[in-house]
Amino acid sequence: MTDAAAQIQETITSNDVVLYMKGTKSMPQCGFSSRVAGVLNYMGVDYQDVNVLADENVRQGIKDFSDWPTIPQLYVKGEFVGGCDIITEMTLSGELDTLFSENDVTFDKEAADKIREANAS
């Protein structure tokens, strides 16, 4: 296991929810990272953000670790969930609520419902 992989494993093991992203949860630096961080922030999820722009080894390492080519990447209880499109779909379908509930991750159900209401066609 590389140093980056060991660091990633440690991070996702010691935090219930981790978002590997470009920038930080308070200052995302790409639209996709901003969207996922925005959903988690709005839903009141307590999560660890990891800025891949701060460390090239982690930036490449997370792609190798998950075998997923893009960032952001969301992990819940050590399991890779997906990137921006998957998280968006899961939020709108209610699957993300279920995932959080099943894993005892605290979130604001009303906020999640408001996201879905705002995006209903």
Per cent of the chain over pLDDT 90 is 97
Residue 33 and residue 71 in contact, taking contact as beta carbons nearer than 8 Å: yes
Q: Count the neighbouring beta carbons within 10 Å of the beta carbon of residue 28.
A: 22
As for how many domains the chain has, the answer is 1
What average pLDDT does the structure give for the chain?
Answer: 96
Q: What is the CATH number of the domain that holds 79?
A: 3.40.30.10
Backbone torsions φ then ψ of 110, nearest 5 degrees = -65, -40
Residue range of the domain that includes 12: 3-119
Residue 18 and residue 50 in contact, taking contact as beta carbons nearer than 8 Å: yes
Tens-place pLDDT, residues 55-111 = 999 999 999 999 999 999 999 999 999 999 999 999 999 999 999 999 999 999 999
pLDDT-derived band at 121 (thresholds 50, 70, 90) equals low
Q: What is the distance of C-alpha 100 from the center of its chain?
A: 12
Which sign, positive or negative, has the C-alpha torsion 118, 116, 30, 17? positive
How far is 11 from 66, CA to CA, in rounded Å? Answer: 14
